[in-house]
Structures are given as structure tokens and as C-alpha cells.
Amino acid sequence: MSTGEAQKVNGQLEQLLRSLGLDPASPVAWRDGFLLLACLHYDVGKPRRTNKNAQKFSADDDFALPYEMSRLTKQGMSPEEAINALASDPSKADLLKLKSMSSQAQRVETLRKRLSAIKKKNVGLEIFEATRPSPLSKKP
């Protein structure tokens, strides 16, 4: 590299630092510039990308599974039997937001995970029972 090219490169690098909003005279300008470029071009420091296509469940969706589980366990089924029954019932697929192409094992696993997530959010059966209207009360 000739002397003229080195001066040109230095001028371009200083211009780059100014473009990034940094003072080239600062002792940390090169470090900060490097980090900014790493963030801009290589996503350094950004949180992990989440699946934006993942299905989101509403509060009503979260109440459907505990309700159905309660209904089946009151009929004498164990929780495991209730999950298996719900997973195998095609009429419950839309209600529980289950994919029609998934296997029985996938549906069982999905329902287990969702039930666990609902319990962790404290939107379990106790809350559902306390907030739903009594079957004896009639709507006007």
C-alpha cells in the first residue's frame, strides 16, 4: 500500500466512524465502531429470534383444555386417560387447536405441554372453575 492509499483509507475509516455517530478522536471509537458494525451486520447482541409463525393461544383457548379435562375426570377418567381421549377425538381438534395432520402421539404430547404451560401461568382449573358461570344459572 502506498502512502497516498493509506491516507485515503484512514480518511474513509474516519468517515465510517462519523457515519456511525462516533467521534474518531475518542480512544474507544474503534472498539465502539467494531461493535456497532457487528450488531448491524451479524446480529451480535440481539435476542434469539422467536418463531413468529407460532400459534398464539387466547385466554379462551387456555380455558378449553382444563374444562375438557375436568369434564372427563369427573366422568371417572384419570388425567392421562382424559388427555388420550381428547387427543383421539376428532371433534375436539378445532376446540383445542390441534393440527389435523398430527399423529395421536404428537397430539398427546402437545396437550401435555399446553396443560403444563397453563398450570405455570396460574390459569389452571381452579381459576376456570371460579370464573365460569354455574351450569344452573340461566342466561336472560
DSSP 86-138: HHH-GGGTTTTT--TTS-HHHHHHHHHHHHHHHHHTT-SHHHHHHHSPPTTSP
Q: Could you tell me if 10 and 73 lie in one domain?
A: no
Residue 54 lies in a domain: no
As to burial, measured by CB atoms within 10 angstroms (0-12 exposed, 13-18 middle, 19+ buried), residue 122 is exposed
Q: pLDDT at position 132, please?
A: 46
Residue 69 lies in a domain: yes
Q: pLDDT at position 124, please?
A: 44
Element (H, E) at 83: helix 79-88
Measured at the CA of 101, the angle between CA 97 and CA 103, to 5 degrees, comes to 95
Residue 139 lies in a domain: no
Residue 140 lies in a domain: no
Q: What is the SS3 assignment for 68?
A: helix
Q: pLDDT at position 122, please?
A: 61
Domain containing residue 17 = 3-42
Work out how many domains the chain is built from and give that number: 2
Q: Could you tell me if 64 and 122 lie in one domain?
A: yes
Q: pLDDT at position 2, please?
A: 63
Which parts of the chain sit beneath pLDDT 50? 123-125, 127-140
| Cα–Cα distance, 51 to 122 (Å, whole number) | 24
- Determine phi and psi for 133, rounding to 5 degrees: -70, 150
Residue 49 lies in a domain: no
Residue 111 lies in a domain: yes
Q: Could you tell me if 92 and 126 lie in one domain?
A: yes
Q: pLDDT at position 1, please?
A: 55
Q: Could you tell me if 38 and 72 lie in one domain?
A: no
